[in-house]
């Protein structure tokens, strides 16, 4: 039991150290945030083809906080090409995200942790492609989040429902690291989209 606790403590510390480092690197990369977000928006057709998206698919994005790369122009581009879009509502700790239908211009409310989210009466949906924010990613497809486990928990729940649910990380090139410290419940991404490339994993 002691060995397991020591391993968990070491993993938590490694993640905490990397979070501090990558928060600074992401902030530096975010100087060109507006340009990067518009570059992502130009990849809508590529994503539709790469992930074989159609009328039965829903792409869930996120409302950016801090220095996260903004996926909303990309979501608007996808919506203009007939793809349904959604945003998550953040629940209490320990629970998965709740996804609601959303398009640009819909009213928002304040959520937990400084987020904005759709109104609770907006229809709930189950996305087939989830755009995932992060602090870091590696070439194996693992990401470093903020430590709440919301996306890991949500992806696991969506996949348990059946069908194919894919995760696309959204990040700056500068957020790539050699290896993200991972635990047994860390969900793997299918791809990462940066301001310069789509990295299939």
Give the CATH number of the domain where residue 113 resides. Answer: 3.40.50.10420
Structural domain span for residue 175: 2-200
Looking at residue 6, what is its pLDDT? 61
Per-residue model confidence (pLDDT) at position 187: 92
- Could you count the other beta carbons within 10 Å of the beta carbon of residue 101? 17
Question: What is 71-122 written as a DSSP string?
Answer: -HHHHHHHHHTT-EEEEEE--STTS--EEEE--TT--EEE-GGG-EEE-TTS
pLDDT of residue 139: 95
At residue 1, the pLDDT reads 46
Helices assigned H by DSSP within the chain: 2-29, 33-41, 44-50, 72-80, 150-160
**Domain tally, the chain:** 1
Tens-binned pLDDT, residue by residue, of the chain (201 aa) = 456 556 668 999 999 999 999 999 999 999 978 899 999 999 999 999 999 999 999 999 999 999 999 999 999 999 999 999 999 999 888 899 999 999 999 999 998 878 899 999 999 999 999 999 999 999 999 999 998 899 999 999 999 998 899 999 999 999 999 999 999 889 999 999 999 999 998
């Amino acid at each position: 039991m002691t060995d397991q606790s020591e391993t968990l403590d070491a993993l938590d510390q490694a993640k905490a150290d990397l979070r501090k480092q990558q928060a600074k690197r992401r902030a530096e990369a975010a100087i060109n945030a507006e340009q990067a977000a518009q570059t992502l928006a130009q990849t809508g057709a590529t994503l539709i083809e790469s992930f074989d998206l159609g009328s039965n698919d829903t792409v869930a994005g996120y409302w950016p906080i801090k220095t996260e790369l903004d996926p909303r122009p990309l979501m608007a581009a996808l919506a203009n090409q007939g793809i349904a879009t959604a945003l998550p509502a953040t629940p209490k700790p320990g629970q998965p995200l709740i996804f609601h239908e959303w398009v640009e211009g819909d009213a928002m409310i304040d959520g937990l942790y400084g987020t904005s989210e759709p109104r609770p009466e907006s229809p709930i949906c189950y996305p087939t492609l989830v755009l995932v924010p992060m602090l870091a990613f590696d070439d194996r497809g693992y990401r470093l989040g903020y430590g709440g486990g919301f996306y890991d928990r949500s992806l696991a729940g969506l996949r348990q429902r059946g069908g194919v649910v894919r995760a696309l990380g959204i990040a700056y090139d500068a957020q790539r690291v050699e290896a993200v410290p991972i635990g047994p419940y860390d969900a793997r991404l299918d791809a990462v989209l940066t301001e310069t490339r789509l990295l299939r994993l």
